[in-house]
Structure 1
Amino acid sequence: MTDDAAIEKAIGGAIATGPLAHYGLWGKLDKGEVTPQEARQHAIESAERTIRNDYRRRYIEHTLNRLSYERELLGPVRRHEGELTPVMLQAFAREHGAHKPEARNIDGETFVLESTVALPLHLANDTMLELTADEWRDLMQSAGYEVPAKKDASPPILNLKVKELKARHRYHRDQVETFPVVEMTKAEYSKIHAEQRGTRPSLCGEFRFKICPNPRTDVPRYMAGWCAVFLTDSKAHPLPDSVAAIENAEAAE
């Protein structure tokens, strides 16, 4: 921030009420006793004094040591042995307090992490940190960070033309819910409020199906419940074995 107008706006706003400017700086700037550039330099020096403050540094180090002790009580941290990517490093840095970190791979084995402000002290006392992949793995482990396991892909959403579909109850897993299938077009379905549209995993867990409030008009709305949806102007999927078996059994009765 080097533009005089921007400096005056900052000094008169957030900086004037924070630790980066002494009391009365805005008044001096407003009266012309100091220039915007002099005020900017004062704020920079105040910030540097804050960062170099021995008491604050000791407090940070004490907190980090305390966290390290408590982390030891939680047991060993799994070291990431898989492939390392810039996205993983950015997620690690963000979780540990870095401001908008950006990571990149230099030569296939070395990664650089950068931020517009100093990285958290327990990572590096600088705005940039360059380490090999193994050194990054060691740092993440020592900081108590485990790369999240990759989530399994959600089952596909199927458009099935059947009488009803079943799913486990959301809150009572030992109960089964039955959803009558209602036919409608994509346009009709899209007109339903977004918070009233969604999907439910099938009873077998192999697929999901669309749901919405049942549009029945012969009963009060609160009694109509929810229904599964078959979109008439979308491709109908073949029946999964679990659904086909039920359909065949009902047809044989």
Structure 2
Amino acid sequence: MPADQTRTTPPLHILLAEDETVTRLAARVLLERAGHRVVAVEDGDAAVAAAADGAFDLILMDLGLPGLPGDEAVRAIRRQPNGAAPCILMLTASATADGQDRCAACGANGTLIKPLRLEALSTALGGSGKGDRNGGAQAVSPAAEPAFDEGAIRTMQEMLPAARVAELIGKTAAVLRQHGEALDEALKTGDRATAGAMAHKIAGVSGQYGCIALRRAARALETELEQPTEDTTRRTDEVGGLLTAALVFLDRYAAKRE
């Protein structure tokens, strides 16, 4: 299929490290649509191994990888003989100070806030393959954002058969349901660390599939959960309501198999 004609960066050989299957698939579709060659892995150890074996122009590294976290994987890559060569951009849905500090301190060239967008990637690379440490961290007024971005779904529909898109969106809805249940259980038991991790995952998945309002609320909840004394009741209720609306949105597209 033709590459995205709006591309403003040259074709790159990209290593994508992302543990959430549905998010990894959506990001890969987006990058390949733009004409890039993509190798995708799902954990930090695999990212370090792939970086040693392949000559990549760009590495997109999720911060919250299982096993070896993304920031530690970047440090390991930088220690490799060719580790100084590739541009590395962190991918994160985190709005917490700790998450941003980890991204800034690990040796990456910059940070992209999930969901991955070609415009933000182009800005981060500056059109020349060199990272911008502020890439993708664009401030947008919540009032100016729609609740849903159907363009994220349309991008996938342009690249993949309708049945495959419906399957991926159905899996995304299932993943969000699981994360929502895990979030509720963690909040009931007072496990703020697990609840924060689930809010982080919800933000990452929902944003990549166009559920903008849910992404924003989940990021805010993650930030509140980082403060031990913060009352998260109002934000938790907001995330719950928006998750319900997001599942309706996704289920509608999952039903379109032709």
TM-score range with shorter-chain normalisation?
under 0.3
Greater helix share, structure number: 2
After TM superposition, the score normalised by the length of structure 2 is 0.21
Which one has more relative contact order, counting CA pairs under 8 Å at least 6 apart? 2
After TM superposition, the score normalised by the length of structure 1 is 0.21
